[in-house]
């Protein structure tokens, strides 16, 4: 089933997004055993990502042959465990958090690649920059030494309203295109999870984060 699931996703993204850009598939591996993660890598998965810092620390040295990302909410007191060890942090949701990442990266003498999270649905329960001020906010974060802003990320609302999801994706893409003209190495628009990744790819996403669509339903409540 794992191989079949991956093949179905690879087949969907093989032609890129609606703009012809390659789409990077990130496997969201929360609660997934290391042996299953490594098996998915053997089947062609090139990027994997954890939601929890502790789980990342437990698994990171046991995962072989894939780029490792972090996609969960990140507390400032746990930044030190990720900087310089994870290839890309997707969830920089404030200038305060970005500043902490920058300070620790400078101490470690590394440059940490990050994505800035945009609260595109303006949902109270989610973090991220207000989309109305996102361009200015991302550019402010990009001035920090010690990190490199490689793009932006969104967690789309959990809804069956496909038109709403499409419109939010297009708004994210518009922000991405504005920022790409002004920032170097600004490559990734990370949006789309197992339920909505097809809509996201068809409306400008070039990086998707899939859990259950690859690994099947996990043993915890809520979405992946």
- Report pLDDT digits (tens) over 71-82: 999 999 999 999
Tokens 């390659």 belong to 22
Task: Give the separation between CA 212 and CA 224, rounded to whole angstroms.
Answer: 6
pLDDT tens for residues 130-160?
999 999 999 999 999 999 999 999 999 999 9
Task: Give the separation between CA 119 and CA 97, rounded to whole angstroms.
Answer: 15
* pLDDT band of 217, cuts 50, 70, 90: confident
Mean pLDDT of 80-103: 98
Of all residues in the chain, the percent with pLDDT exceeding 70 is 97
Residue 219: per-residue pLDDT: 57
Residue 56: per-residue pLDDT: 98
Residue 187: per-residue pLDDT: 98
- Alpha helices by DSSP H, 72-118: 95-108
Average pLDDT, the chain: 96
Structure tokens at 178: 């504005």
Tell me, what DSSP letter sits at residue 129? B
End-to-end CA distance of the chain: 18
Alpha carbon 91 to its chain's center? 7
Mean pLDDT of 41-62: 98
Mean pLDDT of 66-95: 97
Task: Give the separation between CA 19 and CA 204, rounded to whole angstroms.
Answer: 7
Residue 220: per-residue pLDDT: 46
Cβ contact 34:14 at 8 Å: no
Mean pLDDT of 192-215: 98
Res. 221: pLDDT tops 60? no
Q: What is the pTM of this model?
A: 0.95
Mean pLDDT of 43-62: 98
Residue 181: per-residue pLDDT: 98
Of all residues in the chain, the percent with pLDDT exceeding 90 is 96
H-helix or E-strand spanning residue 172: helix 162-180
Domains in the chain: ranges and CATH:
2-215 (3.20.20.10)
Strand ranges in 15-164 using DSSP code E only, listed in sequence order: 24-28, 47-50, 67-70, 88-92, 112-117, 147-153
Mean pLDDT of 67-92: 97
pLDDT tens for residues 14-31?
999 999 999 999 999 999
């Amino acid at each position: 089933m794992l191989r079949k699931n991956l093949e179905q996703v690879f087949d969907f993204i093989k032609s890129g997004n609606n703009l012809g850009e390659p789409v990077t598939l990130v496997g969201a591996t929360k609660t997934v055993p290391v042996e299953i993660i490594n098996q998915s890598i053997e089947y062609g998965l090139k990027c994997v990502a954890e939601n929890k810092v502790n789980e990342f620390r437990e698994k990171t040295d046991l995962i072989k042959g894939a780029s490792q990302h972090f996609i969960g909410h990140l507390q400032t007191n746990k930044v030190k465990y990720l900087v310089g060890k994870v290839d890309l942090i997707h969830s920089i949701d404030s200038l305060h958090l970005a500043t902490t990442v920058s300070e620790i990266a400078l101490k470690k003498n590394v440059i940490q690649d990050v994505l800035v999270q945009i609260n595109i649905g303006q949902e109270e329960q989610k973090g991220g920059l207000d989309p109305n001020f996102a361009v200015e906010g991302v550019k402010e974060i990009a001035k920090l030494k010690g990190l490199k802003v490689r793009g932006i990320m969104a967690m789309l609302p959990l809804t069956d309203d496909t038109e709403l999801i499409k419109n939010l994706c297009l708004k994210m893409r518009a922000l991405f295109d504005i920022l790409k003209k002004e920032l170097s190495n600004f490559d990734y628009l990370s949006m789309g999870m197992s339920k909505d990744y097809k809509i996201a790819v068809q409306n400008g996403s070039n990086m998707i984060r899939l859990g259950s669509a690859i690994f099947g339903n996990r043993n915890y409540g809520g979405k992946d």
